[in-house]
Amino acid sequence: MPELLYSTVIEQAGWVAAGEISARELVEHSIARIDALNPVLNAFAHVFTEEARAHADGLDAERAAGALRGPLHGVPIAIKEENDVAGIPTRFGSSAFTTPATADSAVVQRLRDAGAIIIGTTRMPEFGIWPFTESDSFGWTRNPWNTGRSTAGSSGGTAAAIASGMVAAGIGGDGGGSIRLPASWCGLFGLKPQRGRVSLAPNADLWRALGVIGPLTRSVADSALIHDVIGGAGPADRFSAEALPVPMLRSATEPLDRPLRIMVSLKNPMGGQAADADTASAVRRTADLLRGLGHEVIEADPDYPRLALPFQVQLAAGISDEAARADHPELLERRTRAMLRLARPLSRFGAWAERAAAERGEPFLTRLFGGVDLLITPTTPTAALPVGQLDGAGAIAAVQKAGPVSSFTSIWNALGNPAAAVPAGFTDAGLPLSVQVIGPRNGEPTILALSAQLESARPWADRRPPLAEASTP
């Protein structure tokens, strides 16, 4: 029997294809791990125990007959609960939604078509507003590296599930950093793809022009493989990215063909909180490593455009759009209702905000990526903060706590560029650190190639959370 705990997506799919393990055994391992750890971590909102077992048995029968669905045949995957999964409500982290989805979202259907098994849906803050996966209705989601710390958000449930070994991969969403922030605080790799790279159907967009969907994983190659499976816009999508010249997995597994010119900066794009000493040190160590790998590293600060207001207006419009779908709006959290009162007057300026971001962003992007291949910054200004950030906080207090956490990431949602959170060591207290690697439009291949090079030179997957080690089923 292969060692399943902390095995990768690629390993699991390979074992199933070779007959070394069954899809049912993978599912049972995942369910046992969820049963052992979810009461502590609160990563999953809904677990498809019997459905996953039945699906696994069907896939095993197909494999025995000589057929494989695709590159994820038999692999359990977690889904953030803002994605439609047929038969259950799409809750957006809220108690206000009770009507079951009638069909899978495009991403969920593509995963199933590739042979993945949807093992469950994961926790998020209501509508993904906050960078803390906390809820008045559903409690805190805890960080496997230290259960007194937050996972960040809004894809915090997905991040906790992967970092603790419940699954090898899960789907998140990113409207201001919500893939990269939990990846940063939980020691994972998370790529926010180019706007329009992955279908948002049945929705035309996610938070207007801000939101995208993508996986969180422990390895760069796993993320690339899943992106290859779920990639491509459809007719219902407002945005469509240019097709990449090669599969993302190839970019993540083949060496770079030339040294890169890389800018490294600690400047906060939103003018907010500076990176603390641990985070700044992680960025500098990464710069030194890149120099040692033969890249040209330029320490300089971009002249960022002012996008805080357009971002906030798009955010307000997106929250208003999602809240309008609630079956029971009276069950929305008190601070969400207060946010909606603030957001609704702004939401009608959403189109202006999109235009303003494009008009201010295009000259900046031309200057920046006309001179360098990639930009590296902190992902978050600090390592994981304590849980309970939203306890007793109203809308204004919550906004004040949330702003600094996403201050390095949100600008890239307004601009639409791809950006990834890459693990970069640990604090003395054992909390993960991260750097953000940002590329030009359609720059995922270069981001993946450099991230894989960093992963090879400074491996991170061999270190595991102490909770996970103590709780192995």
Is 401 in the active site? Answer: no
Ramachandran area for residue 338 (φ above 0: left; ψ -120 to 50: alpha; else beta): alpha
Tokens describing residue 441 = 């439009």
Buried b (16+ CB within 10 A) or exposed e, 386-420: ebebbeebebeebbebbbbbbbbbbbbbbbbbbbb
Closest Cα to residue 73, out of 88, 61, 81? 61
**Cα→Cα distances 342→239, 282, 283, 312, Å:** 28, 38, 37, 11
Please count the helices (runs of H) and the strands (runs of E) in the chain. Answer: 16, 15
CA distance 305 to 303: 7
Residue 147: alpha-carbon gap to chain centroid: 20
Instruction: Tell me whether residue 154 is one of the annotated catalytic residues.
Output: yes
> Do residues 440 and 178 make contact, with C-beta atoms less than 8 angstroms apart?
no
Q: Cα separation of 424 and 194, whole Å?
A: 23
> Residue 113 in 3-state DSSP?
helix
- Residue pair 391/159 in contact by the 8 Å Cβ criterion: no
Q: Exposure pattern of 339-357 as b/e (b: 16+ CB <10 Å)?
A: bbeebeebbebbeebbebb
Q: Which of 22, 154, 184, 320 is catalytic?
A: 154
Separation of alpha carbons 175 and 409, rounded Å: 9
CB 368 within 8 A of CB 257: no
Which listed residue (7, 22, 30, 80) is catalytic?
80
Q: Compute the distance between CA of residue 37 and CA of residue 46 in angstroms, rounded to an integer.
A: 14
* Active-site hit among 178, 199, 320, 434: 178
Q: Is 265 a catalytic residue?
A: no
Query: By CB neighbour count within 10 A (0-12 exposed, 13-18 middle, 19+ buried), where does 334 fall?
Result: exposed
State the Cα–Cα distance between residues 53 and 66, nearest whole angstrom.
20
DSSP for residue 172: E
Q: Which residues are catalytic?
A: 80, 154, 178
